A and B are shown apart, each in its own frame.
Chain A
Amino acid sequence: DADVTQTPRNRITKTGKRIMLECSQTKGHDRMYWYRQDPGLGLRLIYYSFDVKDINKGEISDGYSVSRQAQAKFSLSLESAIPNQTALYFCATSATSGGGETQYFGPGTRLLVL
């Protein structure tokens, strides 16, 4: 069973539509992250949450919002989708410690904005 799941796995939408991508984890981790990946580029952080009451912007948060509904759930919304938001979106989780910890990724959501 996958520890980090994402739904949907694929989504096609039109410009201006609002969509939500969902992430669930069974790892018991407090920290969750949303990234986007574009061809030939590294992963870029959109938002991250270190616990249920903590939400932080990443490097490319404009046009996105998030909700941490529970320790195990972290959703990403595109309020009004635009074509340059076409990308692969990944959710990740990590444990909390004083130093760096491995981030574990979900399988990704492929989003196409027409």
Chain B
Amino acid sequence: GESVGLHLPTLSVQEGDNSIINCAYSNSASDYFIWYKQESGKGPQFIIDIRSNMDKRQGQRVTVLLNKTVKHLSLQIAATQPGDSAVYFCAENLYGNNRLAFGKGNQVVVIP
């Protein structure tokens, strides 16, 4: 498989525990944020998004929190499963015209 996760921060989590992945974004004017999951050998896959007029949004087993005061975004995964092992990265609508800026990503390793 590819080495997308090479040299990335790694979070090791026990199966069944909750995971929290953090992301600092750069522009206080960014109005839209996305979390992506990338498994080995695959393209980035949309997980959840949030607009700047919200501070929390929930999906299936995932929650995104947005703290605009400190320009911080987090992704919480409940009851982490082996299939959650992947690289996760955030993106912000930095330029306001849907040219997204992507973070470098975090490797999540789920321990059975």
Contacts and interface: CB of A to CB of B under 8 A. Distances in A.
Interface in B1-17: 2-8
B2 A88 contact: yes
B7 A110 contact: no
Interface stretch (B38-46, B54-62, B65-73, B74-82): B38-46
Nearest to A45: B99
Interface residues of A, number: 26
Q: Is the interface of B mostly helix, strand, loop or mixed?
A: loop
A101 B98 contact: yes
Contact of B102 (A42, A48, A104): A42
Contact of B6 (A39, A48, A90): A39
B32 A99 contact: yes
Contacts, number: 67
A48 B99 contact: yes
Interface string A88-112: 1010001001011111111110100
Contact of A107 (B7, B31, B43, B49): B43
A37 interface: yes
Contacts of A106: 43
Q: Is the interface of A mostly helix, strand, loop or mixed?
A: loop
A110 B44 contact: no
B88 interface: no
Interface residues of B, number: 30
Contact of A39 (B3, B93, B100): B3
B89 interface: yes
A42 B103 contact: yes
Contacts of B7: 39-40
28 contacts: A31-B98, A37-B4, A39-B3, A40-B5, A40-B7, A40-B8, A41-B104, A43-B44, A43-B89, A45-B99, A48-B99, A90-B43, A90-B44, A99-B31, A99-B32, A100-B33, A100-B51, A100-B98, A101-B98, A102-B46, A103-B34, A103-B91, A103-B98, A103-B100, A104-B46, A105-B36, A105-B44, A107-B42
Top 4 closest A-B pairs, CB basis?
A: A100-B32, A100-B93, A105-B43, A40-B7
